[in-house]
Structure 1
Amino acid sequence: MPVKNYYQQLKAVVCLCLLFAFSLSKAQTIKGDYYQLKIYHYKNAQQESILDAYLQNSYLPALHKKGIKNVGVFKPIDADTADRKIYVLSTFASWKDAEPVNTSASKPPVSNATDKQYVDAAYNQAPYTRIETILLSPFVTRPHLMLPKLTGDKSKRVYELRSYESPTEAYHYSKVKMFNSGETDIFERLGFNPVFYGSVIAGSRMPNLMYLTTFESKQSREEHWNAFNADAQWKGLIAKEEYKNNVSKADILLLYPTSYSDY
């Protein structure tokens, strides 16, 4: 190989390496909101009342004091009477920041003197059956919580939480790439009022991604999904071979915000 050609190729390789290193450093500096979805499972109205009082009077105010301004609290529209749930969505600067409000050796890390029914509950009068916690890392194209731009009656709103499990980590990457390559753009263009998109980094169902969209009403939700399914950009995206079979199980949950939810 002529010396001139060798040095030209070497120069090209060095440039590519520098470009890759720059891109990697940029990616590593992207900071977003890590999401925590805490799910309180309970059975009856008494437990629900205690949980609502605790969340409204202690948990949310404590998070607000820590600088976490927007905490969502939601309940299923069609509740499972055998296993009722309250969903609490919080954001943290990193997944490690979520630890102090989740671990305690003897009592809830967030409580006050008015929470005796919650904090000092007897073993046979617990305010819940169990607590489930899911941690998610943000999508790079949508790294922060987005407050819904809804103006209608809060009691009529529909918040749709979707969970997309994938058969392998590689297929999960494919589905996340699909979102980042256009799916999130379609949601926003069509006015789905998304709140968050994230990959599950700790939870019982993995590999998995979850996202939350919001609507003024059930009718609005139906109209938006009809428009989405008919959208030309979506049809083009879903037809691509690289995105085939990247969801093995999809769960759809319709929620409504509690009166004390921040949004």
Structure 2
Amino acid sequence: MKSFLKRILFSTVAFIALSAHVYAVKQSFYYQIKVYHFKSDQQEKIIDEYLKTAFLPALHTKGIKDVGVFKPIAKDTSDRLIYVFLPLKKLTDLDRINTTVGKDKAFAEKGKPYLNASYNEPPYTRIESIILKAFASMPEYSLPKLTTPKNERVYELRSYEAATENLSLNKIEMFNDYEVAIFSKLNFNAVFYGQVISGGKMPNLMYLTTFNNKADRDSHWAAFGPEYKKISGLPQYQHNVSKNVTLFLYPADYSDF
């Protein structure tokens, strides 16, 4: 009887411990990346002013304390871009924010030049939206720990497309099991790693690493090579990236990142 009770007690304690471990696992954040496409300096000025004085302050009052705004280092005059990075604790927060921000009086007043732009003088050509879910190995975003002024920094946004959904999941598994740990060990100052769950170029994953400058970026990747070589040849992780798109960005002076 005592032996039976001991087994029951042991099983109960084990179940409680397992349950505590399960509930201790952090829920993954969701991220929206809004990409503004525009052509002129005037459009850029209107977008910047809107983001700086209306949109970001409104998000801050709604509980989104950190919002990223990034611009390409290389200028493309045919299609100019601004990236807005919005972290969300729950996917439903996106709808909540879109609804509540629109009712904010300060937002409506500060955002007038952008919000009330005429049909023949729009502040952008198009807006693109990408929704991501954070990897289990880094379920929350992180602010960069850098020492240089924002205009000197190099932020590297990478997108890894795959031929199939399963191969994309395989690459995400590779990140969760190995690559995120290598990036962390080498201090790549990653902001996020995420699986794209809605966007125009699926299946794919995206991640953002940050550096003090170009030389800092190059030295980090030089150190990454030997570490990555140890796992890149593993048979279970072959052919899981069909296209790598790399963008070099810098943060706007009003960006929280």
1:60 pairs, out of 36, 56, 69, with 56
Larger mean Cα displacement after TM superposition, 91-100 or 159-168 = 91-100
Is 1:148 the counterpart of 2:174 in the alignment?
A: no
Aligned residues: 240
Counterpart of 1:253 in structure 2 is 247
Is 1:136 the counterpart of 2:132 in the alignment?
A: yes
Quote the offset at 1:235 in angstroms.
1.2
Counterpart of 1:228 in structure 2 is 224
Root-mean-square deviation (Å): 2.2
Structure 1: which amino acid aligns with 2:233? A
Gaps of 5+ in 1: 1-14
Counterpart of 1:237 in structure 2 is 231
2:118 pairs, out of 119, 122, 139, with 122
TM-score, length of structure 2 as denominator length? 0.87
TM-score, length of structure 1 as denominator length? 0.85
Quote the offset at 1:193 in angstroms.
0.5
Q: After superposition, where does 1:69-88 map in structure 2 within 5 Å? A: 69-88=65-84
Counterpart of 1:201 in structure 2 is 197
Give per-residue Cα distances to partners, 1:4-49, cap 9 Å, x unaligned.
xxxxxxxxxxx9xx99xx69x9389641211110111110000000
Gaps of 5+ in 2: 1-10
Q: After superposition, where does 1:152-167 map in structure 2 within 5 Å? A: 152-167=148-163
Quote the offset at 1:74 in angstroms.
0.3
Structure-2 change in CA distance of 1:103 and 1:86 (3 Å)? farther
Aligned partners of 1:32, 1:115: CA distance in 2, in Å? Answer: 32
Report SS of the residue matched to 1:74.
strand
Contact between 2:62 and 2:97, CA under 8 Å: does it hold in 1?
no
Aligned partners of 1:209, 1:64: CA distance in 2, in Å? Answer: 27
Structure-2 change in CA distance of 1:215 and 1:109 (3 Å)? farther
Report SS of the residue matched to 1:117.
helix
Counterpart of 1:219 in structure 2 is 215
Aligned partners of 2:138, 2:177: CA distance in 1, in Å? Answer: 12
Q: Percent identity, aligned pairs only?
A: 50
Counterpart of 1:31 in structure 2 is 27
